Amino acid sequence: MSEPLLVVENLRTWLDLGKSQVRAVDGVSFTINRHETFALLGESGCGKSMTALAIMRLLPEAGRIVSGSVRLDEQNLLELPEIAMRTVRGKRIAMVFQEPMTSLNPVMTIGRQIAETLYRHTALRGEAALARVLELLDAVGIPDASARCNDYPFQLSGGMKQRVVIAIALACEPDLLIADEPTTALDVTIQAQVLDLLRRLQRERGMAVMLISHDLGVVAEMAQRIAVMYAGEIVEMADREEFFTAPRHPYTQKLFASLPGAARRGQQLEIIRGSVPPLDRDFSGCRFASRCDFAWQKCSDEIPVWSEVSSGHQVRCHLLQCTDRAVRDAEAPPLSPVALPESAVESPLLEVNDLKVHFPIRKGLLKRVAGHVRAVDGVSLAISPGRTLALVGESGCGKTTVGKSLLQLIRPTGGSVQFAGEELTQLSGNALRARRADFQIVFQDPYASLDPRMRVADIIDEGMAALGTASAGDRQAQMDELLEQVGLPVGSKYRYPHEFSGGQRQRIAIARALAVKPRLIVCDEPTSALDVSVQAQILNLLKGLQDELGLAYLFITHNLAVVEYFAHEVAVMYLGRIVERGTVEEVMNAPRHPYTQALLSAVPVADVGARREIIRLAGDLPSPANPPQGCHFHPRCPQAMPVCRLDYPLAARFSASHGASCHLYSGE
């Protein structure tokens, strides 16, 4: 029998927002046992992080705990005075936050930040504290710890910063580690390293882990028990095997149906209609009722109670108490997937040959050029109308720079960019402006790319007015049509960006791009910051627009499940160069380059029966200012040969569409 470490009972946390009170956490109860990983799963805004902050007593100024108890080894943390709670934080319970850059002090070395925790909770000082700092940096896999401990956060990569945050959290060997989306902003290779690190440290130190995530693949790999949160309450709780093989709550089932992948290619993804209800009121029925495909009158009239599906598997849903299934299903039949036609392959709309983007490095008083950052170093690709080319790779490999240089937002250093037979690198001024309507870009963060001082109508109108694609009289009608096309009400054009959710803001960004009737759209990580259900809505929208308008997409992403579902071709980029390209089926099912193989092996999958062997890559991505001699990947490649250190490999062809630059295939 597992021994409980943390017991949360009927926890209620409210946020006072002027005249209203938001019930962010409303009656949450769960138990975390010693040595286990307990996952809290759900969409953004459901209360996961607020639950963790309430446990740590780190609520924002407007937040307060209304009722409930949080017992750590029978001690109720909610009854402790603040001075006593400070001895619990960092020593008994530690937390790893989602964004490491905001968790680290930018003006303190990482060694001092780790030592700060030791000074607060232990008697270690001087050389003893330094030895412990180096031991922790070694434990989390920071190379050359004695030198790195004097570095500042800005000198570290994203993965290394997250490792430092983990080292700080583990400094006093806590009984419980709360990890709040610890890998959301990381590439799949770095994500695999961090998850492996957490598993290893948990085994060695015997601690419990509370994992907060919306990534079903990460949860499947890490957790022994899972709780699903929706609108401030837990709606399903189960052991891992039963949760992933037989989810029972309609919300949980929809989350699984929203996942993109090869199995759903050519079909629409299931979406959760509507939005999470506002939490500033009491509920008289099920909180998911307005979005549920199976809801009937009872769901609106009565609050569902817990139903025991099996030992350890509980669901808060009226479905499990309903015996008249035929009546229930007749009222709300399940949605069936709709097949989407594949576009015919045409001659290329965009052709790129040997594209280079080098940024000068200037030093000295006179700012002389001392070198170049080779962000893009000889990229060639082609995209046909109605087709999607996915550009994948780790952060810093040059994907976004490729997208911006194709649109001439960054002027290339060399190479050719031909759009519909016209050389864009030779255009400037009015000639380039006249071409701007043909290609647009959708950025990763819609909130940062939309002017917060402009209404939606002005945001969409701006491009049409600047490029003269429609007369003043026609623009209003086109604007209304665009909003309906992207699934937003016409009345929303009078609102500001901050009044929308993340998924709605991304729809506005797509409407802005469509306003000038482009033929090519560069999508730069358009779904990376979105929950799986909102991601499904955006992918369905983009796919529908492609089939309706014949749009071509350059889809920049590091989400390989999205690539499998959405793209026609894929190009894998590493340190400014494309190392493998081909159709999605060729690259995803039979990767040939060792880097592609490592990327695919690191992708977590939402299948507890899946067994995969992760290919570990040594070190981090080298600097594009000083790329390795020979094959750029050889310092990290598990199959490197002596020739890899001398010459960059030529491209080997495996079919008319599939090729890779690797010495392993130099004879093919």
Question: What is the per-residue DSSP string for 59-114?
Answer: --TTEEEEEEEEEETTEEGGGS-HHHHHHHBTTTEEEE-S-HHHHS-TTS-HHHHH
Looking at the predicted structure, is the pLDDT value of residue 346 above 70?
no
pLDDT band at 329 (very low <50, low <70, confident <90, very high): very low
Which residue from 599, 563, 590 is spatially nearest to 660, judged by alpha carbons?
Answer: 590
The 10s digit of each residue's pLDDT in 281-314 is 889 999 999 999 999 999 999 999 999 998 889 9
pLDDT category at 668 given cuts 50, 70, 90 is low
CA 235 to chain centre: 24
Question: Strand 313-316 and strand 233-239: pairing?
Answer: antiparallel
Q: What is the mean pLDDT of residues 641-658?
A: 94
Rounded to 5 degrees, φ, ψ at 315 are -135, 135
Pure H helices in 531-664: 532-549, 560-566, 584-589, 594-601
Give the distance, in angstroms, between the CA of residue 506 and the centroid of all CA atoms in the same chain.
Answer: 14
Q: Which residues face 79 on adjacent strands?
A: none
Burial (CB count <10 Å: 0-12, 13-18, 19+), residue 120:
middle
Q: Quick one: which H or E segment has residue 608? A: none
Q: What is the pLDDT of residue 335?
A: 33
CA-nearest of 269, 163, 292, 286 to 561 is 269
Q: Which tokens in the block code for residue 461?
A: 């109108």
Which residues 6+ apart lie within 8 Å of 381 measured at CB?
350, 352, 389, 391, 571, 578, 581
Count the Cβ atoms, other than its own, within 10 Å of residue 399.
26
Query: Look-up: residue for tokens 């759209």?
Result: 521
* 182 Cβ neighbours under 8 A, 6+ residues apart: 96, 98, 162, 166, 194, 198, 211
The pLDDT tens digits of the residues spanning 228-256 come to: 999 999 999 999 999 999 999 999 999 99
Q: Which domains occur in the chain, in start order?
A: 257-331 (no CATH), 350-591 (3.40.50.300)
The SS3 assignment for 510 reads helix
Of 58, 91, 276, the closest CA to residue 180 belongs to 58
Cβ–Cβ under 8 Å, residues 226 and 252: no
Cβ(229)–Cβ(51) below 8 Å: yes
Q: What per-residue confidence (pLDDT) applies to 337?
A: 35
Q: Quick one: pLDDT at residue 642? A: 94
Report how far apart the first and last C-alpha atoms of the chain are (Å, whole number): 58
For the record, the structure tokens of 467 come out as 């490029």
What percentage of residues in the chain have a pLDDT greater than 90? 63
> 80: pLDDT confidence band, cut at 50, 70 and 90?
very high
> What is the pLDDT at residue 326?
43
117-150: pLDDT as tens digits = 999 999 999 999 999 999 999 888 888 889 889 9
Mean per-residue pLDDT of the chain: 89
Give the DSSP H or E segment for 21. Answer: strand 20-33
CB hemisphere CA count around 461 (13 angstroms): 15
Query: Alpha-carbon distance 503 to 497, whole Å?
Result: 11
Alpha-carbon dihedral angle through residues 273, 279, 280, 282, given to the nearest 10 degrees? 100
According to DSSP, residue 382 is labeled: E
pLDDT at 1 over 60: no
pLDDT for 365 equals 84
